[in-house]
Amino acid sequence: MVFLLDFNVLWHNIERIGNAAQKMGLDFYDMEFILCTPEEMSFIGAYGMPRRFCHWTLGKEFYRLYLRQRLGLIKIHELVMNSNPCTAFLLKGNSLLENKISMAHAIAHSDFFKNNIFYSHDSKTVARFFAENQKLFSEFEERYGKQKVEKILEAALALRCIYFSQGLSKDEKSSQDAGEEDIYLYICRNSKVLEDWQKEIIYRLRHELEYFRTHACTKLINEGWAAFWHTKILRELDLSADEAVEFALMNAKALSHQDGECNLYLLGREIFADLEKSMGTKKIFEIRSRENDLGFIEKYLSHNLIKRLGLFFYSKKKGGFKEIIHEPAAVKMHLVKRIKNCWYPHIVIVQGKGDKSGLYLHHHYDGYQLNSFYVKKTLERIFMLWGETVSIETFWKRRPVVFAYNGKEHILADP
């Protein structure tokens, strides 16, 4: 393994953690550990890569993360890049124990990246591809103007949620048969207003988003796997009494539900812990290799575990009142519905409906109403790429409606 560090205090612990992980059966890429300031961690967290194209939407996310860190609202202990060798960024100022946990967590992530079937892209070329895009987009800015490039990126980035929600639970052929053709490819193939260089940007952005979509549809199982193994690895180390207490407190805080939100780290870890008891360690390695979040929850989240963790959700009733639903089957169904489309609203392209030259979208309403402000802004961005009327059919204020934008005004009509 290769290690890049600013100081030597961690060296011995890195070797011990790596050796412990290998003895437990983890099969991970060579690791690079790099220490970063809070500002650098916020940058990587916002952009997803050390080298990526610049855009104000990514800059906004950077500022949000950095401000929250400065205010003490969050602390990004580690970030892991799926590459070969696998690069893990650790926060400068972490205590020695915090870095031990972060390194064990990162190694388990690397094992997941290397062995899970959904990470089939070439991990050796990931960072290079992002860097190539950064260079090409800069060249486009010099050739066509920074404002034009920024606008096409802004419009394309506005479709991320739609792209992430399409076809995550189906294979590519069945998705297209069901009318769920990839929105980026559909626009590039059928738009009459896009120039070749603009299509090149969209194709390349889509390729980048494939990387992030894979992360999004395996977030729960991936984080659960990392939390499961960092707990095991740390318990195997010869911690001092003070470190053992610090570890217990940190782990309890990291693996607890907060602000009424389901902790994905805790849920994933507890599922793996249950499976190890009932099926054995060999079986959980097999599950790690073949499942994404949807399959993991559908197949392996038991009703007993739902009860033990006290999981529930709120359901809106008539009059605006909320009802607490804690029946295990309903809780599991609720989770499956949210995970199925990567936690995003499920929106698909519908051909042969609406204006002949327009683009018609359909939102599969699942009880969660779309925000009308963002619907209108997204339609405006899609119009920039399509050039004709863009419509979306959804359920709003308890009735089916169609939001449409024709380049001049927004229209709200019946379907």
In tens digits, the chain (415 residues) has pLDDT values of 444 444 566 777 888 999 999 999 999 999 999 989 999 999 999 999 888 999 999 999 999 999 999 998 888 999 999 888 899 999 988 888 999 999 999 999 999 999 999 987 666 788 889 999 999 999 999 999 999 999 999 999 999 999 988 755 444 434 444 445 789 999 999 999 999 999 999 999 999 999 999 999 999 999 999 999 999 999 998 888 988 998 999 888 888 877 667 788 999 999 999 999 999 999 999 999 999 999 999 999 999 999 999 888 877 766 565 778 889 999 999 899 888 888 889 999 998 776 778 899 999 988 888 999 999 999 999 999 999 999 999 999 889 999 999 999 999 998 8
Distance in angstroms (rounded) separating the CA atoms of residues 67 and 51: 21
Distance CA 46, CA 63 (A): 9
Q: Whole-angstrom distance between the N-terminal and C-terminal Cα of the chain?
A: 59
β-pairing verdict for 390-396 and 359-363: parallel
Burial 282-318 (b: 16+ CB within 10 A, else e): eebbebbeebbbbebbbebbeeebbeebebbbeeeee
Which one, of 201, 162, 158, lies nearest residue 181 by Cα? 162
The domain segmentation of the chain, as residue ranges, is: 11-119+218-286, 347-413
Tell me the CB-side half-sphere exposure of residue 327, using CA atoms within 13 A. Answer: 5
Which whole-number Å values give the CA distances from 322 to 89, 285, 314, 318, 329, in the listed order?
Answer: 42, 40, 6, 9, 19
- State residue 401 phi and psi, 5-degree precision: -140, 165
Cβ proximity of 405 and 381 under 8 Å: no
**Which phi and psi angles does 406 have, rounded to 5°?**
-110, 15
Round to whole Å and give the CA distance between 23 and 16.
11
> What is the rounded CA–CA span in Å between residue 372 and residue 360?
17
pTM over 0.85: yes
